[in-house]
Structure 1
């Protein structure tokens, strides 16, 4: 298989059309199409289903794309490591984390890191689903659970508590529960997703149901930041990490003496980036901001 044709195939598979791939490669649409047809002739299998709305990989195309994508990802990582400065951290660092942690905790602090590391460019990817670091969908991740992939390096960062909060206006109108059992009589703000990014985020709902209340949600929303905003707007009581609640200083902590669940945060990156200076300085920044020695 010709390397140039594989490069074109990779661009087409990622872009989903000959035209968009041509824009990326600075080639005409017809030149891209000819390269793909020539590769299909060599392999003697169709790689794309062609239709009016674009291109869809065939089963054989999916198999080839998986391998080619991995090869290009490894090459990109190798090039980054080879060109990274031996004296100082430099280059592009793709960081992924949950939308809640990214918006509420990381974003307000990121200016400190960028000021201290002017030669590092950050690409922040906020995604509640885990991106595949092994496939280079991102370089590093801050996750609210231990990594499930065995080939990733992990560093425990923090245990974030999930206190119960309410707005003073809500308390004035509805009162504040004096015990956990009384939660079942209140309006709750919950995370409305089947697979929330933070474990135990809806533990209050379970507590309310255990006391016989079947209708517990006043509002469900699939965003941690939006949950905090909804609680601050008086829509109900909710349990959110302290880093999300700090955006709204008027929030009142409910039942501060009870033990609430915690969320374990981890810094995660692939083995190939173990010696990367960019990864090291970003890890050290996170630990410093979290007060870890």
Structure 2
């Protein structure tokens, strides 16, 4: 059966330009000039007899027909890629690169010490960490996937919950020695280490019932520095149980209170418009298993803390 098809190069140019919503980005991906992308798009529009893009003052936008067409074209390219991978020995030998966007604090304090286990289990994956405070723009191919902390509501992003985690103060064991029992009311404002985003201390103090009486006055540090500062006895860091997990399990930090804010979690995220690759799925599955182990270990510590903090039952008047 003969097929009436436009130029494959024109289809590749259109699919890349539509995915990036940028002729310049498509040219970079396909290693051709901007003019070549424009020419291919014009040829495809002439062949189809319809407009796929409209030019605006800020670049280009897909027409409604363009949006409908690219969805089918992308699925078709994905199918061709999958079929090729299944029989290509050369592709099977090639390592698959996976660029993951992650916050510096999570990368430094939790993820990096565990990466050897992932690379040992998945030698076919070439993992690249993009450690930055900004959120990666998946539509612009800034990363293949990411690990984000929050409530799971991000636009145009597919998010899989890895673990829910609580935010609570942590400190060096030395901070609790030789003094009166610590209560939220006795926290010294100058010892409350702050991050640039200060809403978390406010939320915890509200949970503890002291937001109107205590205002943190400690030094402001980048997120990945508050835990080392707390370990060094510089004050109380407010941390989630995963980032502080290794230090808590190792005894380098303790949590003086059972009170925690529990509305955030860690999520594995990717572009909602693109399907999950094998490398993404492998990393997500490994990541979830590792992070659940940390959560379970920290939960055991929290349980013992709750028992220690629980008030003793009053003795019966008949007891002797």
TM-score, scaled to structure 1: 0.62
Partner of 1:160: 165
Partner of 1:238: 237
2:157–2:269 Cα contact (<8 Å) kept:
no
Q: Could you say what secondary structure the match of 1:137 adopts?
A: coil
Q: Could you say what secondary structure the match of 1:217 adopts?
A: coil
Going from structure 1 to structure 2, the CA distance change for 1:272 and 1:162 (only over 3 Å counts) comes to: same
Cα distance in 2 for partners of 1:238, 1:167 equals 10
Partner of 1:219: 219
Cα distance in 1 for partners of 2:75, 2:201 equals 36
| Off by >6 Å, runs of 4+ in structure 1 | 24-27, 73-80, 86-89
Cα distance in 2 for partners of 1:148, 1:100 equals 21
Partner of 2:185: 181
Offset at 1:157? 0.8
Deviation sequence 1:66-110 (CA, Å, 0-9, x none): xxxxxxx99998997676557979411111121111111111111
Offset at 1:114? 0.9
Q: After superposing the two structures, state which structure 1 stretch, 74-83 or 126-135, moved more.
A: 74-83
Partner of 1:277: 278
Offset at 1:210? 2.3
Cα distance in 2 for partners of 1:139, 1:124 equals 10
Alignment of 1:1-293 (within 5 A): 84=85, 90-149=95-154, 150=156, 152-154=158-160, 156-169=161-174, 171=175, 175=179, 178-185=182-189, 187-193=191-197, 200=200, 203-204=203-204, 210-213=211-214, 216-221=216-221, 223-245=222-244, 246-247=246-247, 249-256=250-257, 258-262=258-262, 263-269=264-270, 270-274=272-276, 276-289=277-290, 290-291=292-293
Aligned residues: CA RMSD: 5.2
1:273–1:279 Cα contact (<8 Å) kept:
no
Cα distance in 1 for partners of 2:118, 2:202 equals 33
Offset at 1:185? 4.9
1:163–1:242 Cα contact (<8 Å) kept:
yes
Which consecutive residues of structure 2, in runs of 5 or more, have no partner in the other structure? 1-7, 13-28, 33-54, 62-73, 296-320
TM-score, scaled to structure 2: 0.58
Offset at 1:173? 8.9
Larger radius of gyration: 2
